[in-house]
Amino acid sequence: MRPIIGITSYVVPATWGVWHDLPTALIPNDYVAAVEQAGGRAVIIPPDGRDPDVLRVLDGLLLAGGPDVEPVRYGAEPEPLTETRADRDAGEFPLVRRALELDLPILGVCRGMQVLAVAAGGTLHQHLPDVLGHERHRPAPGIYGEHEARFEGGSMIAKLMGDDVGVHCYHHQGVADPGTLTVTGRAEDGLAEAVEDPDRRFVLGVQWHPEVVRDRRLFGALVEAAS
């Protein structure tokens, strides 16, 4: 059997056919395709804050990108440009904490990396242009930023990425303090681009969007760890 990889998702109004603005559990199909092309079986997980019991039938967990994490979860007040979804936080944080207890393989993408960091006791920058002085990590609505990342020698992400270090990013927040995780990659401006937990078999967060290019290196590593 293919390893079953759960992908966290949104519930947002969506329109198709004759149906308009129906509350819909969805996720960009790039995530599903990336998991399937890497040999996994993708299962979409709608937000559910009641319990993390779904993990009992999963072999791995993919924390997808999305809205900002609620600042209260890392002891901060929300800033004007912070946009949160309480339902996703309520559903994802119990999943992450239980998955870490079970040593279930986890890949966090963009928001997913930030969720990992906050779950590990870390904090976030709420608006990167205020910290970095530029908007290259989210240059325009719907436009990915492109840059190169630097990875720590010997780290999991360095071994996976090799010499191809170009990444596609779209975010206005970032990890300020990774908590108990280890920062293993940074952008040219010093922002954390990758975090890992070397004490677990596979816990990796990346600030960019590898699903956009169906990056078999990262999704293949998740599927392999879940096998």
Q: In what order do the strands lie in the sheet with 182-187?
A: 41-45, 4-8, 60-63, 106-109, 203-206, 192-196, 182-187, 145-151, 166-169
Distances (CA, A) of 56 to 62, 95, 179: 15, 11, 27
Q: How far is CA 137 from CA 77, 78, 100, 147, 164, in A?
A: 23, 20, 29, 9, 19
Q: How far apart are CA 217 and CA 160, in angstroms?
A: 6
CATH numbers and ranges of domains, the chain: 4-226 (3.40.50.880)
pLDDT in tens, 116-125: 999 999 999 9
Q: Which two tokens stand for residue 10?
A: 């949104």
pLDDT confidence band for 182 (50 / 70 / 90): very high
- pLDDT range class, residue 50, cuts 50, 70, 90: very high
Tokens of 157: 């992400």
- Of 128, 134, 144, the C-alpha closest to 81 is 128
Q: Which residues form the catalytic set?
A: 110, 209, 211
Which H or E element spans position 177?
Answer: strand 174-177
Predicted local distance difference test score (pLDDT) of residue 73: 98
In this structure, the number of other CB atoms found within 10 A of the CB of residue 77 comes to 8
Q: Residue range 35-41: average pLDDT?
A: 98
Q: Which two structure tokens, joined as six digits, stand for 29? A: 């199909």
Across the range 91-103, mean pLDDT stands at: 97
Q: Is the Cβ–Cβ distance between 170 and 68 less than 8 Å?
A: no
Full-prediction pTM beyond 0.95? yes
Q: What is the pLDDT of residue 145?
A: 95
